[in-house]
Amino acid sequence: MPLADDQKTTLREDGTPYYVQLAAILRRQISDGTWTVGDRLPTLKDLVAQYGVSPMTVRHALGGLEGEGLIRAERGRGTFVTGTPGGGGAIPYKLTNTPPARGSLLSFRVVETRPANGELRISPDEGIAAPEYVYMKRIFARNGGPFISGQYFVSREAYETVGKAVWPRELISNIMYDTKALGLAKVRQTFRVIASTPQEAAELDIRTHDPLVQVRRFFQTAKGEVICLAQLLYRTDGVVFDINIDLDDRNRLIELAGFPES
């Protein structure tokens, strides 16, 4: 039976190849549980009818998903879901503990440590910039796969107060919170969803223009001086924000939503 018009999905005419769009739709359906491991996907004929594309386009999309380990085609039986994107499950938004031992869930490696040269920017409304910063870059991994790319501006004074040997071993947040001599008084952070650049995509093993969660975290003194700026890029396939909202605090509700209409 032909699909009704309201059951069909129209792909966008924005220059993105149809097979890329179709693969993204099916990948999302697998990710959000529409299709679970062991489920059989619709037939080639059904996918052609639903999305209004050619059989070759459907085969190309399915081939990409099979290459990612998400599906497997079995001759005479159909195409079955065999995995989920990201594979490792959701990671709570909390990276404030010392990196676990080798082989466990989360770890990091230091990529660069050198005098800062304008890699990051601190605007006047974000705080008072220190005279000099040290630039650091780290890549965090989940079960051996890249998960977060972090860039940091640490004030030269803070860097020298803590000592050069400590920084490669500890999480920046731990150092900021535990070193009382730094004078940490407040932490502010912003969140944005952005499209990845080619370099970011390569570092995090994703496709160029895939979405990332960008977190800019400012560690400040009581006077608003920025001791450290941490700019973190999270892959979106394993981040879950779980927030309890106090219904008695309407201002907080609006703040979390971003705008009242949401």
| Token representation of residue 184 | 């940490």
Q: Give the three-state DSSP class for 227.
A: strand
Residues 6 or more apart whose Cβ sits within 8 Å of residue 234: 147, 148, 212, 213, 214, 215
Name every residue whose Cβ is closer than 8 Å to that of residue 257 and which is 6 or more positions away in sequence: none
**Which CATH number belongs to the domain containing residue 102 in this structure?**
3.40.1410.10
Do 118 and 188 lie in a common domain?
Answer: yes
Whether 211 is covered by a domain: the verdict is yes
State the pLDDT at residue 106.
Answer: 75
Of 81, 105, 133, the one marking the end of a domain is 81
pLDDT value of residue 79 = 95
184 and 248: one domain? yes
In this prediction, residue 22 carries a pLDDT of 92
Residues 57 and 96 in one domain: no
**Does 262 fall in a domain?**
no
Helix 55-67 vs helix 18-31: crossing angle, to nearest 10? 50
The answer to whether the predicted template modeling score (pTM) of the entire model surpasses 0.75 is no
Distance CA 79, CA 39 (A): 8
Residues 244, 226 share a domain: yes
Between CA 185 and CA 176 the distance in angstroms is 10
- Judged by DSSP in three states, 222 sits in coil
Structure tokens at 208: 């160029």
Q: Can you tell me the distance from the alpha carbon of 63 to that of 255, in angstroms, rounded to the nearest whole number?
A: 43
Which tokens hold the place of 213?
């969660």
**Would you say residue 106 lies in a domain?**
yes
Q: Which pLDDT value is given to residue 12?
A: 78
Q: Do 23 and 11 contact (CB within 8 A), yes or no?
A: no
Residues 8, 94: Cα–Cα separation, whole Å = 40
pLDDT at 85: 77
**How many helical (H) and strand (E) elements, i.e. helices and strands, does the chain have?**
7, 10
How far is the C-alpha of 180 from the C-alpha of 173, rounded, in Å?
13
At 255 the pLDDT is 56
* 155 is a domain residue: yes
- Boundaries of domain holding 152: 91-257
Q: Are residues 38 and 129 in the same domain?
A: no
What local confidence, expressed as pLDDT, does residue 94 receive?
A: 43
Residue 61 in any domain: the answer is yes
The answer to whether residues 27 and 150 belong to one domain is no
Asked if 144 and 245 sit in the same domain, the reply is yes
pLDDT on residue 230: 96
- What type of residue is 221? T
pLDDT value at position 148? Answer: 92
Per-10-residue mean pLDDT, the chain, length 262: 51 84 90 89 95 94 93 94 71 43 68 94 94 96 88 97 94 94 95 90 88 94 97 84 69 53 39
- Residue 9 has φ and ψ, to the nearest 5°, of -115, 125
Residue 240 and residue 172 in one domain: yes
* Among 81, 104, 120, residue at a domain's last position: 81
Decide if 246 is inside a domain.
Answer: yes
The interaxial angle of helices 44-51 and 18-31, nearest 10 deg, is 110
pLDDT of residue 38: 95
Specify if 86 maps to a domain.
Answer: no
**Are 41 and 73 in a shared domain?**
yes
Residues 173 and 98 in one domain: yes
Sequence-ordered alpha helix ranges (H) in the chain: 18-31, 44-51, 55-67, 156-162, 172-178, 198-204, 250-257
Residues 34 and 120 in one domain: no
For residue 207, the model assigns a pLDDT of: 82
Domain of residue 11, CATH code: 1.10.10.10
In a domain, 98, yes or no: yes
Number of domains composing the chain: 2
SS in 3 state form for 119-185? CCCCCHHHCECCCCEEEEEEEEEECCEEEEEEEEEEEHHHHHHHCCCCCCCCCHHHHHHHCHHHCCC
**Is residue 102 located within the same domain as residue 205?**
yes
- Which pLDDT value is given to residue 134? 97
